[in-house]
């Protein structure tokens, strides 16, 4: 068991080993703890500076774009008034502030300047929170804005403002381009759209996004050079997150977009907590049934078929009866960890209940999905679980169904369940789909 944990840590270290982080901290204690924690946990190459002068020298020596992220204290001996933060942001380095306690207003002001996150020192688990925030920022990157404007000049100006505010920008000249970006699965934090689009009014785009994404719709901010207050009212009433009239101050524009993105991320974090299975940490059945139909709709709109699988741990009841529920829970957690590693974030994985897990594949046809499920089955069969000094082997059975046309989501799952039943009846530890049946008929 000790070796297996070490192996898992080694894989985690690989995650950010290609990135450099600038740590700006004058406290020796915090600097040592943060440098050690970041290098051990994420494998990041950390450069430490204790003063603004040292920061300037380090950045000059390293060159532009050398640092993926900076973690810094606001107040340094030679920079008591946030001068280090000003310098970091002016050099286009994303920043996380790690500083002494301050009020919510100050925190919001700092976040509105383009800071990725703000962690308060001297709070319980503050260092652990910072290490997690670094991983989150490096993994997800900057806030991504989908900018939709039919006027090339206006779009170019707005994109320049957003990029100066450290936003990542995807540009679209028409509404249909924006919808295509969303259907392709791009991770968008905020949509900013002119209300006078050439092919679809801003209100109509707003309605279409909400129709496609439901409660998880990306927040949309409307822009207009019209002075009619009724247009803003109609946009907000229709579900818009905000409405900005031109001309505007650049700081106001960036601040309101950042506020919408921050609020959306907080909402998504709450939804993620509600969508997680308490025991295994995978998504739960409710999330699978709420998100699955929307994803299937996206796949079919893109003209792609896909597949859905139901996986069941073999002889799980016998294992519970023999070893007790505590060992049963240990097995469930082990299977879930392996599945999350093997499935990754590309496909939707959830615990459906008991010892059953569901997988909705992102655009994998039945042959590719069958090969994927075979790899899952083989990997799980090779893995061992140590319980009470006894090594347990586990196997799984998998039913796999294709999704080629619009139907009720329950129908897809029911079809996969039928194939799972066949796999159990045929002796377990196998994958069965329509391919299996066709191959059997052909032979």
Of 63, 59, 60, 52, the C-alpha closest to 26 is 52
Give Cβ neighbours of residue 128 (< 8 Å, ≥ 6 apart).
Answer: 37
- Give me the pLDDT at residue 108, please: 62
Give Cβ neighbours of residue 358 (< 8 Å, ≥ 6 apart).
Answer: 285, 288, 308, 309, 310, 311, 348, 349, 350, 351, 352, 413, 416
CA distance linking residue 71 with residue 61, whole number of Å: 18
Lowest mean pLDDT of 18-32, 129-143, 153-167, 214-228, name the range. 129-143
Cβ proximity of 12 and 139 under 8 Å:
no
Rounded to an integer, what is the distance from CA 37 to the centroid of its chain?
Answer: 23
- Give me the pLDDT at residue 12, please: 39
**The two structure tokens encoding residue 298:** 């996206």
- Does the structure show a pLDDT above 90 at 321? no
More confident residue, 437 or 310: 310
- Give me the pLDDT at residue 227, please: 65
Q: Per DSSP, what are the bridge partners of residue 108?
A: none
Q: Binning pLDDT at 50, 70 and 90, where does residue 122 land?
A: confident
Of 310, 436, 308, the C-alpha closest to 377 is 310
**The two structure tokens encoding residue 152:** 């090339």
- Give me the pLDDT at residue 331, please: 92
Instruction: Count other Cβ atoms within 10 Å, centred on residue 288.
Output: 25
CA separation, residue 408 to residues 76, 211, 401, 403, 412 (Å):
60, 17, 14, 11, 7
- Does the structure show a pLDDT above 80 at 189? yes
By DSSP bridging, strand 242-245 and strand 356-360 are: unpaired
Q: What is the DSSP letter of 428?
A: S
- pLDDT per residue over 214-249, tens digit each? 777 899 999 888 767 788 888 888 889 899 988 888
Angle separating helix axes 202-213 and 285-301, nearest 10 degrees: 130
- Does the structure show a pLDDT above 90 at 138? no
- Give me the pLDDT at residue 423, please: 95
CA separation, residue 129 to residues 28, 122, 253, 422 (Å):
19, 12, 30, 47
- Give me the pLDDT at residue 5, please: 30
- Does the structure show a pLDDT above 60 at 394? yes
Q: Binning pLDDT at 50, 70 and 90, where does residue 10 land?
A: very low
Residue 344 region by backbone torsions, left for phi larger than 0, else alpha for psi between -120 and 50, else beta: left
**The two structure tokens encoding residue 86:** 């000003």
SS3 label, residue 48: strand
Give Cβ neighbours of residue 58 (< 8 Å, ≥ 6 apart).
Answer: 22, 47, 49
Dihedral sign (CA 73, 75, 77, 81): positive
Across 341-352, average pLDDT: 90
By DSSP bridging, strand 356-360 and strand 348-353 are: antiparallel
More confident residue, 282 or 271: 282
CA distance linking residue 358 with residue 44, whole number of Å: 34
CA distance linking residue 20 with residue 43, whole number of Å: 10
Cβ proximity of 314 and 428 under 8 Å:
yes
- Give me the pLDDT at residue 9, please: 34
- Does the structure show a pLDDT above 90 at 202? no
- Does the structure show a pLDDT above 60 at 1? no
- Does the structure show a pLDDT above 70 at 96? yes
Of 101, 13, 21, the C-alpha closest to 58 is 21
**The two structure tokens encoding residue 434:** 């329509």
- Give me the pLDDT at residue 285, please: 94
Give Cβ neighbours of residue 236 (< 8 Å, ≥ 6 apart).
Answer: 242, 243
- Give me the pLDDT at residue 391, please: 84
- Give me the pLDDT at residue 15, please: 64
- Does the structure show a pLDDT above 90 at 388? no
Of the segments 96-105, 174-183, 223-232, 264-273, which one has the largest average pLDDT value?
174-183
Percentage of residues of the chain with pLDDT beyond 90: 35
The C-alpha angle with vertex 36 and arms to 49 and 336, in degrees rounded to 5, equals: 135
- Give me the pLDDT at residue 200, please: 63
- Give me the pLDDT at residue 264, please: 81
Dihedral sign (CA 330, 336, 339, 345): negative
SS3 label, residue 288: helix
- Does the structure show a pLDDT above 90 at 132? no
CA distance linking residue 291 with residue 295, whole number of Å: 6
CA distance linking residue 119 with residue 99, whole number of Å: 7
- Does the structure show a pLDDT above 50 at 68? yes
Of the segments 60-69, 194-203, 424-433, which one has the largest average pLDDT value?
424-433
**The two structure tokens encoding residue 221:** 């901010």
**Average pLDDT over all residues of the chain:** 84
Cβ proximity of 395 and 431 under 8 Å:
no
Cβ proximity of 143 and 189 under 8 Å:
yes
- Give me the pLDDT at residue 298, please: 85
- pLDDT per residue over 21-43, tens digit each? 999 999 999 899 999 988 888 88
Q: 214 φ, ψ to 5°? A: 60, -140
């Amino acid at each position: 068991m000790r070796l297996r944990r070490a192996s898992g840590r080694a894989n985690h270290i690989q995650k950010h080993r290609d990135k450099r982080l600038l740590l700006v901290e004058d406290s020796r204690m915090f600097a040592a703890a943060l440098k050690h924690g970041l290098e051990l946990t994420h494998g990041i190459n950390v450069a430490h500076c204790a003063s603004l002068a040292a920061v300037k020298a380090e950045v000059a020596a390293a060159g532009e774009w050398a640092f993926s992220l900076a973690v810094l204290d606001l107040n340094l001996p030679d920079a008591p008034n946030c001068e280090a933060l000003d310098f970091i942001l002016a050099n286009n380095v994303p920043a996380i502030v790690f500083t002494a306690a301050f009020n919510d207003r100050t925190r919001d002001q700092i976040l509105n300047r383009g800071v990725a996150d703000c962690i308060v020192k001297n709070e319980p688990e503050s260092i652990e929170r910072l290490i997690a925030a670094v991983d989150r920022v490096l993994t997800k990157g900057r806030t991504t804005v989908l900018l939709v404007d039919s006027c090339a000049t206006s779009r170019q100006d707005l994109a320049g403002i957003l990029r100066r505010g450290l936003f990542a920008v995807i540009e679209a000249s028409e509404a249909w381009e924006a919808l295509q970006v969303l259907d392709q699965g791009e991770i968008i934090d905020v949509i900013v759209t002119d209300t006078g689009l050439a092919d679809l009014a801003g209100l109509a785009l707003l309605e279409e996004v909400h129709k496609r994404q439901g409660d998880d719709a990306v927040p949309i901010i409307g822009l207009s050079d019209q002075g009619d207050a009724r247009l803003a009212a109609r946009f907000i009433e229709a579900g818009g997150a905000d409405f900005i009239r031109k001309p505007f101050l650049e700081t106001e524009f960036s601040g309101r977009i950042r506020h919408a993105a921050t609020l959306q991320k907080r909402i998504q974090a709450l939804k993620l907590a509600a969508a997680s299975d308490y025991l295994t940490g995978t998504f739960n059945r409710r999330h699978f049934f709420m998100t699955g139909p929307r994803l299937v709709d996206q796949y079919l709109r893109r003209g792609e078929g896909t597949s859905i699988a139901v996986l069941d741990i073999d002889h799980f009841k016998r294992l519970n009866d023999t070893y007790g529920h505590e060992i049963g829970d240990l097995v469930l957690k082990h299977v879930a960890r392996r599945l999350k590693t093997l499935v990754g974030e590309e496909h939707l994985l959830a615990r459906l209940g008991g010892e059953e897990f569901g997988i909705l594949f992102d655009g994998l046809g039945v042959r590719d999905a069958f090969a994927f499920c075979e790899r899952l089955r083989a990997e799980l069969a090779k893995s061992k679980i140590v319980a009470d000094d006894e090594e347990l082997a586990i196997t799984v059975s998998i039913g796999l169904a294709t999704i080629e046309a619009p139907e009720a989501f329950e129908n897809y799952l029911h079809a996969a369940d039928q194939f799972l039943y066949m796999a159990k009846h045929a002796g377990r530890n196998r994958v069965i789909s329509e391919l299996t049946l066709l191959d059997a008929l052909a032979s």
